[in-house]
Amino acid sequence: QPAAIASVDASNCFDRICHAIASLVFQATGVKQSAVKSMLTAIEDMKFFLRTAFGDSANFAGGGIQFKTQGMCQGNGAAPAAWGVISITIINDHKRRHTGASFLCPISAL
């Protein structure tokens, strides 16, 4: 029978949050759609410049139709709470479906 084992540290996955899933989870937990759209659109359209001792770059990354930034961004005060509600939703779904997934906190295993 097929099986897989993964050891994954998912404690701070702020840069890997998919905005489509985030939007659904936020709205399901009572966040207004306008607030969700405001935060996620700002992140998706953000332009990233490089700053060095020689000055700021003239070119930027992100901010275009071809490349929509995902994640919650470093320094976003909402990122820990966002990851919290998303990860709780994922774990609860695994428990509800009885997938056989096992979740263990190393601290509580001591």
Res 66: pLDDT:
73
On whether the CB atoms of residues 17 and 71 are closer than 8 A, the answer is yes
Rounded to whole angstroms, how far apart are CA atoms 87 and 13?
9
Q: What is the tens place of the pLDDT at every residue in 28-85?
A: 999 999 999 999 999 999 888 999 999 999 998 887 777 778 889 888 999 989 998 9
pLDDT reading at 27 higher than 90: yes
Structure confidence at residue 6 as a pLDDT band (50, 70, 90): low
pLDDT reading at 94 higher than 90: no
Please indicate whether residue 102 or residue 75 has the higher confidence score (pLDDT): 75
What is the DSSP secondary-structure string of 44-108? Answer: HT-EE--EETTEE-S--EE-SSS----S--TT-TTHHHHHHHHHHHHHHHHHHHT-------TTT
